[in-house]
Structure 1
């Protein structure tokens, strides 16, 4: 095997040893080591800058935080390469655990047990810090196009692994628009949520034979499912984006009341 030298890196012929990720991988390792150093620190200095060394008794019963949600996004960018660059520039302060390209390639960008910056200001049920409790998956998509079959096949494999690894409940596979109604609309209307639900990643409805009670409150059903109802019209829009993508109105039809009633029973 022949080698040749380029300032800054040794390159094997026919191999891109000086890949664009080399620098960011180095920064990742540096930051991970710094966090590891802090975790191993003794005497312990807490976030308030106080030293409690005299009162410190190290417990033997602890573990890493584990994700309990998966939040799915579209990148709203024009290529996987553009997204990878965006997520490796410090000034952007945005990231995800995984990025899935149009050809199905999956880039794992952050350890699942670490906190990515993908959810932003968001809420689902009583959880107001999704970044701290979720895995973020970004799918390469400009926000309008449909998702490729290669992407969906890779996504389903990844979701299966995450569900098994962390025992993530079926109800906790959600979209960015679900947790940030009125602020986010991803993944877009072409995303096949029903296909995911059929594989056990999120719930879907069945309105066969459904009789909606006269006192049924559709807005409260949205709350039970997980949506924040501070702005009901935004919650309705996000609900429809996920479950009734063909309807972009904020009026709940009789059929959609049945859908909500069916879903409420699953999430209760």
Structure 2
């Protein structure tokens, strides 16, 4: 009975998306369900190095993961339909929780409590598995044009719900380029981060940027903010793509240092 209860609970969450994306289950989705079910109910204990063999005693005191970040992307594709196809083919190994089209239509592709494959190899601060802690939102945009008003309006409405529902910290609404600076540049410099920050979604430099102290270590501050600075040029470029969108390069000049200081103080 307990096993049946756990499976029913798990399956109920999988099919509870408001978009009901699972109502026309494909063989691939059924296969994935079976794989996840097998993992959840696996009870073969592995002996410890001291020879002890852990004993299984079930508990009902558990729940699913709680997202703590929201990662924003642009699709770099030509249409909503193309993106949906990409995200529904098992061979692509990529997905997101939500896709927002140019006309503002919102498509939910995965329950918020499940782990989508949107961030890839990414780091933010000490978080080395961003997919396990985040919701991925893709905006239908090829990266070389402004985002539409309808699209941003729907994004704001979605962020409003998600931030409240999961108590997402304001600084934890960030870009794909922030978490993967060596690989990604989305969303592009057209993305209105300042406008979103004014509504409580992400942070933005002060209007009057204060000069950083003489002993301020901008590289250390980038790491404290969250950036992976092993490729320093990429980290600086990603920071400027987010916060200095009219000057996207890897030059660590006075303006950049002062902007880093402004963001550092908001952490």
TM-score by length of 2: 0.84
Please state how far the C-alpha of 1:207 moved relative to its aligned partner: 5.1
Cα 1:53–1:23 change in 2 (3 A) is farther
The equivalent residue for 2:91 is 91
The equivalent residue for 1:187 is 187
1:92-171 residue pairs with structure 2 within 5 A? Answer: 92-171=92-171
Identify the range of structure 1 (28-37 vs 118-127) with the bigger mean alpha-carbon deviation. Answer: 28-37
1:175-214 residue pairs with structure 2 within 5 A? Answer: 175-206=175-206, 208=208, 210-214=210-214
Q: Distance between the aligned counterparts of 1:245 and 1:114, measured in 2?
A: 33
Could you report, residue by residue, the CA deviation over 1:124-165 in whole angstroms, capped at 9, with x for unpaired residues? 000011111111111000111110000000001111111111
Aligned residue pair count: 243
Please state how far the C-alpha of 1:86 moved relative to its aligned partner: 0.6
Cα 1:144–1:164 change in 2 (3 A) is same
The equivalent residue for 2:55 is 55
The equivalent residue for 1:45 is 44
Cα 1:33–1:251 change in 2 (3 A) is closer
Matched, 1:220 2:220: yes
Q: Distance between the aligned counterparts of 2:89 and 2:55, measured in 1?
A: 41
Q: Distance between the aligned counterparts of 2:118 and 2:46, measured in 1?
A: 24
Q: Distance between the aligned counterparts of 2:45 and 2:145, measured in 1?
A: 47
Q: Distance between the aligned counterparts of 2:29 and 2:238, measured in 1?
A: 38
Report the aligned-residue RMSD: 2.4
Q: Distance between the aligned counterparts of 1:128 and 1:149, measured in 2?
A: 34
The equivalent residue for 1:66 is 66
Gaps of 5+ in 2: 1-20
Q: Distance between the aligned counterparts of 1:210 and 1:247, measured in 2?
A: 19
Cα 1:209–1:160 change in 2 (3 A) is closer
Please state how far the C-alpha of 1:32 moved relative to its aligned partner: 6.3
Q: In terms of Rg, which structure is larger? A: 1
Please state how far the C-alpha of 1:56 moved relative to its aligned partner: 1.4
Gaps of 5+ in 1: 1-20
TM-score by length of 1: 0.84
